[in-house]
Chain A
Amino acid sequence: MSLNVTLEQVSVNYGGKRALSDITLELEAGKIYGLLGRNGAGKTTLLSLLASYMEPTAGRVRIGGNNPYEHAETMAQVSFIYETNYSEESDKIKGMLQVAERYRPHFDRAYAEELVQLFGLPMNIPIKKFSSGMQSALNAVIGLANRTPVTIFDEVYRGMDAPTREIFYKQLLEDQADHPRTMILSTHLVSEMDYLFEDVVILHKGRMLLKEPIDRLLDRGASITGASAEVDAFVRGMKILNVQQLGGTKSAIVYGEFDEAQRRAAASKGLDIGPVPLQDLFIHLTGEEGSHDNHSEF
């Protein structure tokens, strides 16, 4: 069974506001997608639609060709993992895994127990007494071991320390290699997680900004470094995302692809064309003067 995800002209109004506008998007089965967007861009709303937590106001959502909303089989095949409020959860890990096993057709109990060991989670303590990092790790365990054809991790790393996050990313890649599924990773930790993504989807203010394979997206950005005047001349007419100057040296980040002739021209003028990290591209593509969250956790 292949579970492609498609959205056709999907809009969502929520609380008197438009949370998503006219989203058309196709996610092919078996790939890892990075979903990026600033706070309030509509990421969680989009993911809620896929998990059937809500219905679109307009447009169509299809998973494996079915409308997932209230479709028992499809809903069982979609895991939506997010920071869960476990403040009243007196059950222990064993109980949580048992429930997942009962409701997820492809849940792998042995793998879940292996992950619990890897993350060093305690078996005998009620989950409400876990630290937030441990609770996030438990969510990661359930999300991975569910092995659902569509698996969504919405900022699931919250509270995890750096080594724990590394374990999570490593396991995610390894298990994805053995059991490919459509994985969607929504994150603010762009620079830390960009190597996981095959394709990148960027939402901005409720609209689709782009969806591209990460290599192509990275090819679209370049930093041109060299003498100020030369850089200015070279980037004239290009879409400039950012400029930094240090003494007589300038570095301009531009958005657009270069052909061989342009590369030769740059080299002949002593300009250096370098790659731009995804995080920088993302910041510049979605950053606007006067936007609200210049201090967010990129």
Chain B
Amino acid sequence: MTTIPSSKSQSVNNAGRALRVAADMSRLQLSWSAWFISFVILAYALIEINAQNFITFAFQPAKVFMLVIGIVSVSGFLSFYARHGVTRKAYFYGSSLAAAIVALVLMGGVGVLAGLQQWLIPAPSKPFFLGENASWLLTVIVYMLNALAYYLAGYIIGIGFYRFGKLVGMLYIVLALGVLAASEAMWDVELKELINRVVYIGQIPVWGSILGALLLVGIALGIIWATIRRVRYKIK
């Protein structure tokens, strides 16, 4: 018997699979993000509306949210897509793209809400670490990169535990903490001043920090890929 039993046919390749995984994963995670943002807006309206700008308020919980969905993404999706015959490579590219999309839309959404707030009721204070005169666009881009770094740190923890179990998984927590510390350091004005006191390197421009953050994202993706590319899919 040599026939494939269907009239319907579609060519299958890693790029196509990755795009489908990216679309499916980002749709689901964005629906979680919508719930998350609703709660943040509620909390902001109740307790913080006069104290600080919405974007500043939402930033910390958004980072934690990204870390958490990064951790649970692996146990939630990897074996699921394995059951549907998706390669590790397609999953890696798809899930990473989904992470970027979620970071983009979540922080973009926060940016738009904060802009709306600025327009309706002038905010009590401006966004913090980029200084008083930073543009909204730049602020939002920086927030996105931070959110992505947090998601990828979670992804590192998730894949470490998935592949190696608890003991080596702990080492992946250390790796993830390293990524988070480096990510925070990129934008830490006080740290930059401290470094300047030791070795004077002058004012590090924002694009320098952005480049550093992109490099960090690349390193995190490298760790994830090295771990996932030969992972044994779990039967569960």
Residue ranges of A at the interface with B (Cβ–Cβ < 8 Å)? 1-2, 29-31, 44, 48, 51-55, 70-73, 75-80, 82, 84-85, 88, 99-100, 102-108, 147-149, 178-181
B10 contact set on A, CB distance < 8 A:
105
Q: For the complex, what is the distance from the CA of A54 to the CA of B14, rounded to whole Å?
A: 18
Contact A54–B233 (Cβ < 8 Å): yes
Q: For the complex, what is the distance from the CA of A78 to the CA of B84, rounded to whole Å?
A: 9
A2 contact set on B, CB distance < 8 A:
1-2
Interface flag for B202 (CB, 8 Å): no
Q: Which of A53, A105, A179 contacts B232 (CB 8 A)?
A: A53
What sequence of 0s and 1s flags, for each residue 2-14 of chain B, a beta carbon within 8 Å of any chain A beta carbon?
1111101111111
Contact B12–A53 (Cβ < 8 Å): no
Residue of A nearest to B230 (CB): A55
Could you jot down 12 A-B contacts, CB within 8 Å? A1-B2, A29-B1, A51-B233, A54-B233, A55-B230, A72-B12, A73-B13, A75-B87, A76-B86, A79-B85, A102-B84, A104-B84
Chain B CB within 10 A, most for which of A52, A103, A180: A103
Contact A72–B233 (Cβ < 8 Å): no
B17 contact set on A, CB distance < 8 A:
72, 76, 103
Interface flag for B166 (CB, 8 Å): no
Interface hits, B112-149 → A, CB 8 Å? none
Residue of B nearest to A53 (CB): B233
A103 contact set on B, CB distance < 8 A:
17, 20, 81, 84-86
Given A53-B233, A84-B236, A88-B76, decide whether A76 and B5 contact each other with a Cβ distance below 8 A: no
Interface hits, B12-71 → A, CB 8 Å? 12-14, 17, 20, 24
B88 contact set on A, CB distance < 8 A:
70
Q: Is the interface of A mostly helix, strand, loop or mixed?
A: loop
On chain B, the number of residues with a Cβ less than 8 Å from chain A's Cβ atoms is: 32
Residue of B nearest to A73 (CB): B12
Residue of B nearest to A4 (CB): B2
Contact A180–B84 (Cβ < 8 Å): no
Contact A75–B85 (Cβ < 8 Å): yes
Q: For the complex, what is the distance from the CA of A100 to the CA of B81, rounded to whole Å?
A: 10
Chain B CB within 10 A, most for which of A44, A75, A99: A75
Given A30-B2, A53-B235, A179-B6, decide whether A80 and B87 contact each other with a Cβ distance below 8 A: no
Contact A180–B85 (Cβ < 8 Å): no
A72 contact set on B, CB distance < 8 A:
12-14, 17, 87, 89-90
Contact B235–A104 (Cβ < 8 Å): no
Interface hits, B181-236 → A, CB 8 Å? 230, 232-233, 235-236
CB distance from B145 to the nearest CB of A (A): 30
A84 contact set on B, CB distance < 8 A:
83, 236
Contact A105–B9 (Cβ < 8 Å): yes
Given A55-B230, A102-B20, A104-B84, decide whether A76 and B12 contact each other with a Cβ distance below 8 A: yes
CB distance from A181 to the nearest CB of B (A): 6
Q: Which of B5, B85, B235, B236 contacts A181 (CB 8 A)?
A: B5
Interface flag for B82 (CB, 8 Å): yes
Residue of A nearest to B16 (CB): A72
